[in-house]
Structure 1
Amino acid sequence: MSTTAMQKKMCLFVLLVFALTALAGCGGKPASAPANTTLKVGWDFEMPIADPVKSGYFLVRSGIMETLVAVDFDGRLVPGLALEWQAIDATAWKFTLRPNVKFHDGSLMTAKSVKLAVERFAETAKTIPLDSIEIVSDHEILIKTRKPVVALPAYLATPESSIYGEKAMVDGKFTSLIGTGPYKFVQVAQDKSIVTEGFAEYWKGAPHIKQVINRHYPDAQTRFMALQSGEVDFIRNVLPANAKLLQGNAGYQVAVSPVGRVRVIYFNTEQAGLADHEVRLAISHALDREAIVKDVLGGYSKAAAGMFPENLPWGNPAIKAGEHSVATARALLDKAGWVDNGSGIREKQGKKLEFNLITYSSRPELPDIALVVQAQLAAVGIKLNIQVADIGVAEKAMVSKNFDMVLVARGLAFTPDPSIAFEDFRSTSMSKYRPNYVNKELDSLLEGALRETDPAKRQADYYQAQEIIDKEIPAIFLNYYVHVDAYKKTLRNFRIHPTEAHVLTSDLQFQ
């Protein structure tokens, strides 16, 4: 056979192979591309890789760390790394630990490792008056407190109480992120993104997502553009206007859900002017809460009636949203002796009715709300100066009592018990959010509720505490937070958790 003939035959053979391959691809089951297993997330807040007792929120949100007690989507306490717990007496609780839980370094979770983590949490957070922790067995511990703490299981659901491996500590210092969660910390990349990988030995089963790239976008518009460009698959905390744009796009899913958070203005009740209850009441009447929900938040919220939203079980149903009445606000200020002499700003004894309000832009709607508050107060003769700073600046101002008013989006359910939210209003509070307010009756109620073992009596104490706060107005609750996240429609099984703590779970997967 000639060389030319052999070449023709070889070409026919190659063509036949290609044809058969194509037919195989067309018939029977179609050939499928491997599913995407890398998730790229755009976060709204900073992503601290740090000791969980100091900054555990991102570590739990990102699925690196877990706690003894978990919270379900109805806000109820459920087993986490602890299978069960029970009060032995007023100052002793026994926790039974989940067996066969592995840390990211391959070691098993034991009573010893749990004891270490809980002791450090109690020492740092100061919410648990810890006496001692006894190891009963490899999977049982007995926690004893110096006084009754009925909310102990709830305190052990807060992210700062995360459990970590013994090798995370070196010479008394936290050095390594060795958690139990579905995603294992790998590295901080050159672009400052945080890379985690699915933990194959996770106690609930290996996650579908094999790698997560976490990026921080402090600006909401930049986050939105990163989602649209494909730079990330999922973003948190979407502006209302952007959410409406995405809801009309077939390629994206918008998740909207109320969470345990309220936008609130705290007053320094010892500051000149604000020490007067009638001035605080006038400010409350001057604020149109419904207009803020409609005009600033695009309807993604609800005007507040007291501290707690309906999706949390602790609110007093007798408390109603503050009435908006410019006429009432003006009459109250007249009664308090604040007079407008023609400048548009009220005065009293030569001093203008003028306050400074601090807020922050990491919650992108807060500066816009502040501008509306400024305009609504101007309508009754109060001048408001706005300072937009970092959230740390706002917190430092409150702790140092160097503020007039602070506007924040206050999380209420990171610790799923009302006592933490009420800590803001106790006169000896160590909370970062303090209105510099003293009421001995309120102090007595709150301290009694911490010891009350009867749930009905405890709820009654908290109802009465809310009535005092509603009457005295050390703070104004504006509206309840509705969280808005957005992601590519190919991502499955995401839900907004009411505590905002659990974001990246082992259930997530791409279609």
Structure 2
Amino acid sequence: MRSTIILMLALLLIISGCSTSSSQMETSEKDKLTVVRLSDATKLDPHFITDISSANILYQKVYETLVVPDLDMKPQPGLAKEWEQIDDVTWEFTLREGVYFHDGTVFNADAVKATFDRLLDPKTASPQAEKLGMIDDIEIVDEYTVRFHLSAAYAPLLSILSANEGSIISPKALSENPKKLWEHPVGTGPFAFDYWKPGQEISIKKNEKYWGDKPKINQVVFKVVPEDTTRLAMIETGEAHVNDQVPITEIERIAASETLNLYRADGLGIEFLGFNVQKAPFDQLEVRKAITQAIDRKAVLKGVFQNSGMLANSPMSPKVFGYSDDVKPYDYDLENAKALLQEAGLEGLKVTITTNDRKERINVAEVVQSQLKKIGINAEVEVLEWGAYIEALNNGEHEMFVGGWGNATGDGDYNQFNVFHSSSHGGAGNHTYYNNPEVDRIIEDARKEIDDESRKNLYEQAMKLEMEDAAMIPLRYYEHLAVYHKDVEGLVISPVNYILLNEITIK
């Protein structure tokens, strides 16, 4: 009898344990958001991240900035609760109190100074340094007040401080092991870093000690799923919740599904075809002009992107400060393109078009390959995984490439300085390796110009020269697409294409 009672008690304990475990699992799954993505992050240190895809995992999630852009890209208080421009070259920021980094270190003026000193130190060799190179010194006024002293007036300072480049890093992490930040970020954000399994997934968890409004979910897992159809199927079945890299070819399937919702929003970025102008024969303007005139951009927009987004006429989106509709690329003109190649003695030219493994970009490369045949150019398409693609562009190993630039601030300086200034060659963003001293001067003047209309005029001048030099062929302005499961509520995608997580819930 006694042994029977013991056995029954043991069974009850097992059943009770299973029941509790099942309940906890259910709660856990409802509090866990799974985001499926084409590619893994390249690195997790904001001073070395050069792509929005990687920044999206950390920006305003693990790391925060002094200033935060709203959905109209207007600066709002972040880790700085207020600021004042004292004169053309001096800005004072009053910091929030009671904020802590995920490692327990207090956020204060020392943390701000340590972050920017590290970013701007030549020994750090950050590809982001030039974007904030106008900062001469950061003065600590008191524990919660800092002054930025600039070398010259810089109108878009607030916009760059609100971007990923302005992320504030734990001074303890910086002093103890800064290299570890590549794989283990430490910020003040609403989510803290959990783990990274390279090539598989990255997890972040709710920061229970967060100074602001806490997220409604406990965990977010960014899972790498290279196959487009698999990502969509995972959302459809509820195995995953959000996919922010949606193939345009799947829009009709999404619309017909009972479990999928499609998120669409105009973006700030541009998709383009670029040349490495330092490599022959692309160092010849006539060759670049010939290829530019051989590309039917309208056919690319319609055939590849199904008219998602807008036909691009310049390197800058209409939603970005500094855009001008008076800037135009060379017209589509096959006969003139053929004549230019003949003059250059380059009929039968062989080229390589490098692209990453996103379906639409591969399709763009193949359409361009077909269009170039019409002027006697034989193009080979080289498809690389995202990390290898970024590395190839950063090292200047490419000839032609299908590229994009997602403006992270809403200001023209972010396009012009990063994509066209000669000091930004490589990892900073100038993957065409374009170098025009006159354009450099205009971009530098625009950075210092306080008057908005004068700045716009300067950007127009720069873009007209860039289009004349044909370093790149603008294709389309982004439309951001995301697909999400019907049980997900509160999803917002910023104009930069960052997923905003704090208001998301799962039914």
TM-score by length of 2: 0.84
- Between 478-487 and 197-206, report the one with greater CA deviation: 197-206
Match 1:139 to one of 139, 144, 151: 144
The question of whether the paired residues in 2 share the 8 Å contact of 1:260 and 1:498 is answered with yes
Match 1:434 to one of 431, 434, 444: 431
The question of whether the paired residues in 2 share the 8 Å contact of 1:158 and 1:416 is answered with no
Partner of 2:316: 308
The question of whether the paired residues in 2 share the 8 Å contact of 1:220 and 1:238 is answered with yes
Identity of aligned residues (%): 27
The question of whether the paired residues in 1 share the 8 Å contact of 2:421 and 2:430 is answered with no
Deviation of residue 185 (structure 1)?
Answer: 2.0
Partner of 1:167: 172
Deviation of residue 248 (structure 1)?
Answer: 1.5
Deviation of residue 476 (structure 1)?
Answer: 0.8
Note the 1:263-342 alignment, pairs <5 A. Answer: 263-320=271-328, 322-334=330-342, 336-338=343-345
Deviation of residue 169 (structure 1)?
Answer: 3.3
Whichever residue aligns with residue 351 of structure 2, its letter is: F
Partner of 1:360: 356
Note the 1:105-504 alignment, pairs <5 A. Answer: 105-123=103-121, 124=126, 125-127=128-130, 128-129=132-133, 130-171=135-176, 173=178, 175=180, 177-188=185-196, 192-320=200-328, 322-334=330-342, 336-338=343-345, 347=347, 352-361=348-357, 363-411=358-406, 413-423=407-417, 424-430=419-425, 431-500=428-497, 502-504=498-500
Deviation of residue 207 (structure 1)?
Answer: 1.4
The question of whether the paired residues in 1 share the 8 Å contact of 2:90 and 2:148 is answered with yes
Structure 1 residues 69 and 287: alpha-carbon distance in aligned structure 2, compared to 1, 3 A threshold: same
Give distance in 2, aligned partners of 1:157 and 1:377. 41
Deviation of residue 57 (structure 1)?
Answer: 0.8
Residue 41 in 1 paired to residue 35 in 2?
A: yes
- Between 253-262 and 423-432, report the one with greater CA deviation: 423-432
Give distance in 1, aligned partners of 2:198 and 2:85. 48
What do residues 195-251 of structure 1 show as CA deviations (whole Å, max 9, x unaligned)? 322223333312111222221223323322322333211112110122320112121
Give distance in 1, aligned partners of 2:290 and 2:495. 33
The question of whether the paired residues in 1 share the 8 Å contact of 2:275 and 2:401 is answered with yes
Give distance in 2, aligned partners of 1:376 and 1:173. 48
Deviation of residue 373 (structure 1)?
Answer: 0.2
Structure 1: 4+ residue segments shifted above 6 A? none
Structure 1 residues 207 and 271: alpha-carbon distance in aligned structure 2, compared to 1, 3 A threshold: closer
Match 1:57 to one of 55, 63, 66: 55
- Between 207-216 and 483-492, report the one with greater CA deviation: 207-216
Note the 1:71-82 alignment, pairs <5 A. Answer: 71-82=69-80
Partner of 1:6: none
Structure 2 unpaired stretches of 5+: 1-25
The question of whether the paired residues in 1 share the 8 Å contact of 2:329 and 2:473 is answered with no
Give distance in 1, aligned partners of 2:44 and 2:391. 20
Partner of 2:5: none
Structure 1 residues 95 and 227: alpha-carbon distance in aligned structure 2, compared to 1, 3 A threshold: same
The question of whether the paired residues in 2 share the 8 Å contact of 1:61 and 1:504 is answered with no
Structure 1 residues 170 and 402: alpha-carbon distance in aligned structure 2, compared to 1, 3 A threshold: closer
Whichever residue aligns with residue 97 of structure 1, its letter is: L
The question of whether the paired residues in 2 share the 8 Å contact of 1:62 and 1:503 is answered with no
The question of whether the paired residues in 1 share the 8 Å contact of 2:321 and 2:410 is answered with no
State the secondary structure of the residue aligned to 2:325: coil
- Between 461-470 and 74-83, report the one with greater CA deviation: 74-83
What do residues 333-376 of structure 1 show as CA deviations (whole Å, max 9, x unaligned)? 44x254xxxxxxx63xxxx3222221111x33111110000001
Deviation of residue 118 (structure 1)?
Answer: 2.3
Structure 1 residues 399 and 242: alpha-carbon distance in aligned structure 2, compared to 1, 3 A threshold: closer
Deviation of residue 143 (structure 1)?
Answer: 1.5
Structure 1 residues 288 and 475: alpha-carbon distance in aligned structure 2, compared to 1, 3 A threshold: same
TM-score by length of 1: 0.83
State the secondary structure of the residue aligned to 1:195: strand
The question of whether the paired residues in 1 share the 8 Å contact of 2:320 and 2:412 is answered with no
Give distance in 2, aligned partners of 1:185 and 1:399. 27
State the secondary structure of the residue aligned to 2:324: coil
Give distance in 2, aligned partners of 1:392 and 1:103. 29
Give distance in 1, aligned partners of 2:64 and 2:167. 5
Deviation of residue 462 (structure 1)?
Answer: 0.9
The question of whether the paired residues in 1 share the 8 Å contact of 2:268 and 2:410 is answered with no
Partner of 2:88: 90
Give distance in 2, aligned partners of 1:394 and 1:49. 14
Give distance in 2, aligned partners of 1:395 and 1:102. 34
Structure 1 residues 326 and 92: alpha-carbon distance in aligned structure 2, compared to 1, 3 A threshold: same
Structure 1 residues 401 and 490: alpha-carbon distance in aligned structure 2, compared to 1, 3 A threshold: closer
Structure 1 unpaired stretches of 5+: 1-32, 339-345
State the secondary structure of the residue aligned to 1:375: helix
State the secondary structure of the residue aligned to 1:208: coil
The question of whether the paired residues in 1 share the 8 Å contact of 2:108 and 2:144 is answered with yes
- Between 420-429 and 352-361, report the one with greater CA deviation: 420-429
The question of whether the paired residues in 2 share the 8 Å contact of 1:286 and 1:329 is answered with yes
Structure 1 residues 265 and 153: alpha-carbon distance in aligned structure 2, compared to 1, 3 A threshold: same
Give distance in 2, aligned partners of 1:191 and 1:403. 24
Partner of 1:11: none
The question of whether the paired residues in 1 share the 8 Å contact of 2:40 and 2:199 is answered with no
Structure 1 residues 397 and 186: alpha-carbon distance in aligned structure 2, compared to 1, 3 A threshold: closer
Deviation of residue 496 (structure 1)?
Answer: 1.6
The structure whose residues are more often helix, as a share, is 2
Structure 1 residues 235 and 61: alpha-carbon distance in aligned structure 2, compared to 1, 3 A threshold: farther
Whichever residue aligns with residue 388 of structure 1, its letter is: V
Give distance in 1, aligned partners of 2:328 and 2:199. 48
Whichever residue aligns with residue 139 of structure 1, its letter is: Y
Give distance in 2, aligned partners of 1:271 and 1:107. 48
Partner of 1:506: 502
Aligned residues: 464
